[in-house]
Amino acid sequence: MKNTQIMPALMGALLLSVTAVNAEIKFMNSLQCAEKIPAAKELMVEGEKIQKTGMAQLKEIEQNAQKVLGEIQKERNDLMAKGATMNADAKYKEEKKIKDKERKVEEMQGEYQRVMHNIETEMQMVQMRLQPYIVETIQNAQEVASKNPSIDAVWDNATKQFVYNKETLDLSTEVMKLTEKKNEQKTTLAKNKPAAPKPAATKVA
């Protein structure tokens, strides 16, 4: 039994090669399987709460920012329309009010980024704590597959990789032998290649 770490980009090619030898591929989702582990389920619920709370905060910040931006646009339009008839003091106050609101929007943008960063950090922690349970379900899949002779490979939709394949499907040994043979042939040809004739010396008058 072998574990294989295969990049998602190679999945299609590997699927074709396995199918070519009439192999039976099974699919699983380690994350869904992990839900059957109480401690893992608690972590998933915790992750859902973090996302739900965080998204609500982000939505509120976004709505407030849109409201203030609307006010700024309206006040700018009013200032342009009435600016010519306003005295310097009144005009200064209106301009200051707009700048204060612009600073408020900038603060909201900073708060939005802070909340987003916190969500990402907390979700990464949840994922790290979930990892042992994911590994456990993958090991269980390998155990099930190894006891079933009709299963040649198992693909995990959650981690996007093959988590099991029979040793009989591994062509590494044959490929290594052929690679070594071809490189030995190249080396032999290079050694036996006749040396190029030296150019004739140029006579000096």
Count: domains in the chain: 1
What are the backbone dihedrals phi and psi of residue 193, each rounded to the nearest 5 degrees, phi first?
-65, 125
- Its domain, for residue 149, covers 8-174
Q: Per-residue pLDDT tens for 67-125?
A: 999 999 999 999 888 878 888 898 999 999 999 999 999 999 999 999 999 999 999 99
Tell me if 98 is assigned to some domain: yes
Tell me if 41 is assigned to some domain: yes
Q: Which residue has the higher pLDDT, 192 or 140?
A: 140
Tell me if 197 is assigned to some domain: no
Distance CA 148, CA 180 (A): 35
What the block records as the tokens of 15 is 């699927």
Tell me if 96 is assigned to some domain: yes
Tell me if 201 is assigned to some domain: no
The amino acid occupying position 147 is: K
Average pLDDT of the chain? Answer: 86
Helix, strand, coil: what percent of the chain each, to 5?
A: 75, 5, 20
Tell me if 186 is assigned to some domain: no
Tell me if 196 is assigned to some domain: no
Tell me if 184 is assigned to some domain: no
